[in-house]
Chain A
Amino acid sequence: MSAIFESLPGIEVPVGAISGHLAKLWTNDRADGEAAADPEGARATQLNVVMHFGLNTTPEDAAAQFRVISAFSKRYPSRIVVLCPLRADVAATELRAKVFGECHIGKSKSDKRCVEFVMLSYSRSARPFLESAVSVCLSTDLPLYYWAHSFSTSGGLADYRFLLGRSKRVLIDSARSPADALGFPWPNASALRDLVYSRLLPVRQGIGQFLSVYPPALLVEGLRAVTIQHAAALVAESRVVSNWLSRRLAACGADPARVNFVAATRPAELRAGLVVSFDYTTSGRFFRWTGDFAEGQALFEADFGSGRTTLAAATSLLNPENALSEAMFF
């Protein structure tokens, strides 16, 4: 069954004729019979993205993630190749392709960008041919980014060395990946980026800006515990915030052996959010950040010995397409 492949838009074409059909996408006649305007000037591919659905991906999820990459391509026109493994594998070597194109019209006359997608469905036995099939779909000389979504095992993904090794960045979402994914010995480990970390940019920025006003030594003096409470759905976010705080506090001079990091599920009143607390040995000193992503509100409360500060602010998680660009380019 090729349920993922079927859930995606496009026109099915022979694998050997992908390039020709991509070109033909833009040369069809208009409805009035006149030749369509040449969009050559509007195709401005900046990068290649290979979006690889894992075996844990459902057709509904695939369609949702496709909307994310489509939204991303509005801002960053890309050549996008979507790899769709057959969930119920077949013995025969099967490789099928679909092509799809869309143009985004902006505010100005010149703001028109056209993007091309190639969807490839493949059986397990077709894997040896996948590298060649993907290579002819990519735009030559432009950087390659690889987004592996909902894969079932890290070891299985490691078979795709031609993508892992050549990509400028490899993107995974640790909330939807095997437990060993972040620590797996990938061929190009320094290129790995976690989309959870990217989604948390507004949180890291908000807390970072707030705390950066205080001398580093003051932040860690007498620090005994860091507690992160999280809504039930934000386990991965809690883990990533905890790791980030641990690194930042160590850079401020904290002794990791003396600071207790605690993660706990937040009571139900915080439907979608996190609470970060620093506890100190000195009475009255504290820091607390409460972020409610459903309401888009955050509250800073702190006293580092010079009086209590309370500050309301906006907060959010980055939306998926912005998290992608953050992970790719920053």
Chain B
Amino acid sequence: MSDSPRHPFLHGLSKHRGAPPTVVVIFGASGDLTARKLIPAVYNLSIDGLLPADFYLVGYGRKPIPDEEFRTLAAGAIKEFSRRELDADAWGRVAANTSYVAGGYDERPAFDRLAAHLAAIEKKLGRDVQRLFYISTPPSVFGPILQNLGASGLAAKHLGRPHHAKVIIEKPFGKDLTSARELNTTIRSVFAEHQVYRIDHYLGKETVQDLLVQRFANAIFEPLWNRNFIDSVQITVAEEVGVGTRGGYYEESGCLRDMIQNHTMQLLALTAMEPPGSLDAEAIRDEKVKVLKAIQPLTIGPAGDVARAQYAGGMVVGKPVPGYLEEDGIAVQSGTETYAAMRLSINNWRWQGVPFYLRSGKRMARRVSEIAINFRRPPGTLFAGETARFDLAGNTLSFQIQPDEGLSLILNAKVPGLETRTQPVKMSFRYATTFGSNTAEAYERLVLDAMVGDGTLFIRGDEAEASWKLCTPVLDYWRSVGRTGMDSYAAGSWGPPSADALLSKQQHIWRQP
């Protein structure tokens, strides 16, 4: 839709104020994500006046739930999880157009009932309505849902027109390269790629979007953004929590699949990609794919480019916590990693020889996601030699994605006084301080983007495959060796010794952000 010329009556309105009449259908409507993120996102979009007047919300799930009960559950979710208080009038307007359809995901007649329900909405309204399907279910039912959307005619509704049907799919996009390709084949048998929005909520975060602005809207960074000036890059996505009640899911997933293959690789792609020709979704995604494809295949095995570990018992925020193997639902001899780190090389003109270090883990010292660009040290010996007087740090530009979004730059400055002494100082920009903290959440932005047909912040099928192509050999190797080589780290620490060893060859050390 973003490629179509805008209707004259939308001229002068921002893209986000031009959503067509839309019905959002959530598959997995009684699930956790729906309550925590999707319902609050819809509610906040309504408060901000960004939903069209003719907006409808339909929940779909296996469990029979009367419409009124679904609306009550949704109101409860807003009270508990929304960034804004529940306003009865504002919610009332959305609730009046909210309903629920019960049915199995592999039950074709149920999809016919859904199609009839949506057609009735359209008929009552007297206008075409865009169908936006949000698949927020376990991946095991992605296939049946997609196939039934195709067979029932829902996927092809209004195809060829700007308000054609669209589908948002939650991760994981497969569990390895083979399954990712199979999923893409299933998706493409039903939907054209331009109808598909693979969501990675990290891309909806303000700081992640700001990365492109910082890189390409400021003249001072781009000339330095290459192997001549950058020494290394570290990308960290650290969690403080353990697996909690998600042990069963996590055993099948692990850190590489759960965090590295998607969130962390997306951060890498945005950091390392070439300037796109435009802000068009395809131009940006083309560049992301190019850089992912330029990553050199990993050396796997002892002393290779990858480390993995499980957390052992330790202390988190002053309280003792059990190790991964003591958590509920975890196999005694589990081979699932709760921490993974990688050393990557990008084989292109810009990045040859610059190591990119990626890490993610559960039960780490604090919850933090950041991208740190470490610049080379200046040449010469002007301030060398007297280390007591000249305390010098490397220049580091760090983008903090969560929490406390912002960026900071480490510079060296003269300490005031008669003697020339130096000291590193930190220049900071914090989003909350400048723009306030009550800004739109990632899901609000992404749901609205899909409604207006902007795929810039979503992952294209070939992007997902490029990332799996890199990670799948690692997963295959780990499966083949069982627990051999599995390191451990104390809960509440920054990771295992084997991860430190990845950096030590080049005299680098992990940051403790």
Contacts and interface: CB of A to CB of B under 8 A. Distances in A.
A314 B12 CA distance: 21
Nearest to A205: B17
A162 interface: no
Chain B contact residues, majority secondary structure: loop
Contacts of B333: none
A43 to B, nearest CB: 8
Contacts of B10: 208-209, 212
A106 interface: yes
A74 B436 contact: yes
A1 interface: no
Interface string B451-466: 0000000000000000
B431 to A, nearest CB: 9
Contacts of B433: 41-42, 44, 110-113
B53 A111 contact: no
Interface residues on B, range: 20 to 34
Interface stretch (A169-177, A227-235, A265-273, A305-313): A305-313
Given A41-B433, A77-B434, A252 B9 contact: yes
Contacts of B404: 110
A207 interface: yes
Contacts of B163: 213
Nearest to A108: B437
Interface string B8-28: 111111100111110000000
B47 to A, nearest CB: 10
**Range of interface residues on A (Cβ < 8 Å):** 35 or more
B250 to A, nearest CB: 29
A308 B7 CA distance: 22
A207 B434 contact: no
Given A75-B436, A111-B436, A209 B20 contact: yes
Interface stretch (B120-128, B483-491, B501-509): B120-128
Given A46-B434, A106-B436, A307-B126, A216 B13 contact: no
A207 B17 CA distance: 11
A212 B126 contact: no
Contacts of B12: 204
Given A77-B434, A252-B8, A213 B21 contact: yes
B49 A311 contact: no
B432 interface: yes
Contacts of B352: none
Nearest to A74: B436
Given A209-B19, A309-B125, A314 B93 contact: yes
Given A209-B9, A209-B18, A314-B53, 11 more contacts: A106-B432, A107-B438, A110-B404, A202-B49, A208-B9, A209-B10, A210-B53, A211-B9, A313-B54, A314-B93, A316-B49
Interface of B: 7-14, 17-21, 49, 52-54, 89, 93, 125-128, 163, 404, 428, 430, 432-438
